Amino acid sequence: MQRFQGIRLHLIIALSILFGCLTTQTSRALTLDPADGVDAPVSLSGHLAVLHDPSGVLTLEDIVSGRLNIPFKPVPSMLTEGYREGAIWVRFSLSAPGARNRWLLQVERPLIEHVALYVRDRAGHFVTLPSTDLSGDDGAPRAYATLFSIPASSAETEYYIRFQSMTSITTALKIWQRDGYAEYRRSDNWIMGIVLGAVGAMMFANLLYAYLLRDSLYLLYAALLVESVLMTIFHLGYADEIFQFLEPKSIHRAWGAIVCLYSIVMVWFLARLFEFRRHWIWAWRIIQGIILLNVIALVFSIAGHYGDVGFFVSRLQQLSYLFIAAFVLYLLIVLKQRQYLLSALAFACVITVSLVMQSQYAGTNLFKIDTSLARFMAIGTLIHLVLLSAAVAQRARFAELSLNAEKDRTIAVSQLAERQLAMKVRERTAELAERNASLNAEVDRRHLLELKLRQSLDAVNDALAQQRDFVALVSHEFRGPLAVISAAADNLSSVDSTDNTRLRTTRIRQTVKRMSLLIENVLAGDRLHGGQKAFPTTDSVDVNEVLRTVKAGLDDDVAGRVSFIDGGGVTVKGDRNLLEIAVQNLIQNAMKYSAAPGPVTVRLSTDQGVAFVYVTDQGTGVAPGDREFIFMKYYRAVGQPANGSGLGLYISREIARQHGGDLTLAASDKNGSTFCLSLPIEGAEALTT
């Protein structure tokens, strides 16, 4: 029951407050005392009434006459009309019984382009009061263009102010005396100096951090410091003094660009400070979208249309701060990232100052604040910059500690790696020494083998030399007896011409020729592969002449079976004797493997600089399985009835290749075989080139 009564009491209090806020209040005249406006300003809050002119064309006569029937509405606190099109008319009344002071009216926010103050003269007509410049009176800098010197008498005096601006119409109207306002401006100078000094020191520190730590976050914070200083300069009213080289219109346009840049840099910096990308990539994507929207608003501001996007920029800044605040709470509470605690405290101050001011700029004054916006902004900026600098310094300290820890870890790892490397070096050195010893033993063994191999090679060379000497000796010794046998056979055939004797002498001569050809082949093979040049001298040899010489050396019965087809004059370079041996071997091979009286054809032809000697027989042909072996040394096909040494085709091919040609089996079947001896014609290469 008591709990229910407590809830009811709170509900009644809340409804009462809401009713008080919604109830129409009437403005009343402000009575000034002689002591007012010296130590502190006198606020016009609660004494103001406002009228909206969306068209911006109403004149003071239209409003004072009352014919438009547009009532003024009381304003309970400072003027927070937000971004409005057209104009705003404000009415207030003053009286100063017994005071003869000249009073000053301060329009708090200096970023309203058009401010006009109207008051009745002695004739009862409304006149425009000019703004006041105090720089000539007491040396105070002219910071506010909207400062008016107003008369006040014991009678109630009514004033009208017309506001029109592309930015927010948010201001506080205050009454000063001259001495009080001069002191107020001197205190503003102190605040401005403190802000500039603090920001200068912070910028130097952050530039140093950026250089030492190689972290762009500190450069970003330095840019934020510059933006904060510019915001303070504008709020404290020093813009027209510092940027006096600019026209007032350009100064007001620059304000919109500075607000957009401040939003961009602040959101970007906070996203980097709280490491959105590392903790949640989609949060970083949202921040990028917010930055993009602010960049678009910046383009509008530079083009002179900040009034069209100012309300959007304020709301976007509020929403972005609320989103960042929610994310920071998520880091602290859910993820328990305590290292962001100081940064979160600094950001809370940022949120408090920015949300209050942006809500006022948007036309809302929930907390009924009625104070100096400029000082609120300056002091709040100074506080949050100090806290943010502390957070950034803490980050730098953490970075230094992390860097030191990383250095220690790197040193430990490098020392461990050095020890492991030394161990590996020792192991590799021992292994290398072992391998060197093994290699030296292997080298000694190979030297011994090389020595033995050389000795064996020398023995082989000696044996080959002895073999060549023996072959030459045997061949020489065989040639004499064979010549005697051949001569004896010739004498025998001339003495006794009977058929039996003629047959026997023919066989003797064939055997002698076969033995002579065998000796020539053996000597030619030794000459070709005995390590000496195949033909020490080369001559121009007529191939037809070679064929005729071979034909002349054939026996009568053999010559009757061999037919020669001349191919014209063909000359090659080479050794005549070797070429004759090659052709003789081909003819003897054809005669051997073709039964009598089968003919053998020797045909000479030329084609594209090459001479071809074709030897064709009508034997049984070469079996397919033997065709790749018949040119091998000492090879004889199995089942062949003819006797032979197996050197003829081999020697002939080697002779052809020594002369730059070749010997091939051109064709072979059951009707016979054709061997082709090819030789390059002399001068053919020069002709083709």
Q: Which tens digits make up the pLDDT trace of 306-344?
A: 888 888 888 898 899 889 999 999 999 998 888 888 778
Phi, psi of 119 (to 5 degrees): -150, 155
How far is the C-alpha of 606 from the C-alpha of 67, rounded, in Å?
Answer: 131
Among the ranges given (57-61, 185-189, 317-321, 663-667), the one the predictor scored with the smallest mean pLDDT: 185-189
Query: What's the average model confidence in pLDDT over 140-164?
Result: 76
- Residue 297: helix, strand or coil by DSSP? helix
Structure tokens at 75: 């304003």
Q: Per-residue pLDDT for 23 more than 50?
A: no
Query: What's the average model confidence in pLDDT over 448-470?
Result: 76
Q: Per-residue pLDDT for 27 more than 70?
A: no
Q: Which residue has the tokens 């701060």?
A: 321
pLDDT class of 380 with cuts at 50, 70, 90: low
Q: Find which of 192-196, 424-428, 456-460 is predicted with most confidence, using mean pLDDT.
A: 424-428
Q: Which residues lie across from 171 on neighbouring strands?
A: 79
pLDDT class of 215 with cuts at 50, 70, 90: confident
How far is the C-alpha of 320 from the C-alpha of 361, rounded, in Å?
Answer: 16
- The residue that leads in pLDDT, 360 or 663, is 663
Q: Which tens digits make up the pLDDT trace of 608-645?
A: 888 899 999 888 888 887 877 788 877 776 656 556 66
3-state secondary structure 365-383: CCCCCCCCHHHHHHHHHHH
Query: What's the average model confidence in pLDDT over 217-245?
Result: 81
How far is the C-alpha of 350 from the C-alpha of 222, rounded, in Å?
Answer: 16
Cβ 142 vs Cβ 104: under 8 Å: no
Query: What's the average model confidence in pLDDT over 469-493?
Result: 60
The pTM of this model reads: 0.52
pLDDT at 506: 64
Q: Which tens digits make up the pLDDT trace of 30-54?
A: 888 888 888 888 888 888 999 999 8
Cβ 48 vs Cβ 74: under 8 Å: yes
Q: Per-residue pLDDT for 196 more than 50?
A: yes
Cβ 105 vs Cβ 148: under 8 Å: yes
Q: Which residues lie across from 79 on neighbouring strands?
A: 171
- On average, the pLDDT of the chain sits at 78
